[in-house]
Structure 1
Amino acid sequence: MRTVFKNFLVLAVMLGTFTSFANEMLEVTPTFNYVTKGNHISVSDAFGEVIYSGEINYSGNLTTLFDFTQLKNGKYDVEVTNGFRIDISTIEVKNNIVFVTDANRKTIFKPVVRNENNSVLISKLALDGEKMDVELFYEGELIYTETIDGEDVLNRVYKLDKTLKGSYTTVIKSNDRVFVKNFRI
């Protein structure tokens, strides 16, 4: 009789546990809203005017760290820059309620420019196949230009003349942005 009672008690506890978990709603926090300390944030309105720009001081969910409810009704672009990656999300504010729009989410990768052994190495990931313009300047004078179209990955090595020591500048235009890197040899 004791074993039957113990088995019945165990069954009741298990059934109660399972039914309590069945009614529980799990809240999922989207990871694209997660930002880390040290990242840079920029908020611009529908006209492209930058409303806020600054460094993120704490890690956490973007919508809890920043109070977007105080913005006027409308759509805003939020750019979070993390190293060589720029994540762009669109938020919409309606009557002090913030909605994150996934449809307009975009990621842009910044180019990486290195100077090694009188050579310039340029790498850029362009998963959208966006056209890229590369310009190389020596002492402010254009010495090389190239337009790359339809490539997902830009990998270029440009050999520089050892005798031309001075300041160089690379200008890469892509995704309606201009990336500039200055260096000396």
Structure 2
Amino acid sequence: MASEQSVATEELEMARQLIERGRQAAALDGNHLILWGCVCSLALSFQYLAEVYDWAASSLLWLWQPLLIACFLVSIFVERSGAGRRLGNPVSRAYVSVFCAAGILIGSFLVVNGLGSRPEPQTAAILVPSLLASAFLVLSCVTDMRWMMLPALGWWAIMVLFAANDQLVPTDFLVLSLSSFLFLAVPGMALKWIGRS
């Protein structure tokens, strides 16, 4: 009986160490969230100004495809020093996979839906927050970092807000800009801070 308890205790300790290693690996990878959060926040702010002041034709405002390609290329270089380098760890693998899946789905929608025209903004404003909320939910469960539910809840709130609207107005771009910073860049900064502590 004592032997079985000892084995169970060792297994629990191994599981705890695995979660902790994954948490540390994820913490080192906050750069991705900071990069994407800041870039999207700036782009959406520019989108707002362009819409309000009619700086460019409507079709030019949705050239998100080059932005996505540039960010993906930068992410590949950032990946080498982040959680992607530790894909032997199942927690790191889940972390990288869930955000890669969200990124691929978002990028595919913007590129395919935007071929020959601009992506439909109302659908994008519902789809993107939904995917990001799901990614943060999985991250919260897999890494045991329960505070990651906060950005998930934030993205779900944004999704509900835009699902309740008939169409986007220019100020909605400011809401999305602020959301990108608060619910992507700030969690990335928190992950880096946790990694240093």
Shorter-chain-normalised TM-score: which range?
under 0.3
Q: Normalization by structure 1: what TM-score?
A: 0.25
Greater relative CO (CA pairs within 8 A, separation 6+): 2
TM-score by length of 2: 0.24
Question: Of Structure 1 and Structure 2, which has the larger fraction of its residues in strand?
Answer: 1
Report which of the two structures shows the higher radius of gyration computed on alpha carbons.
1
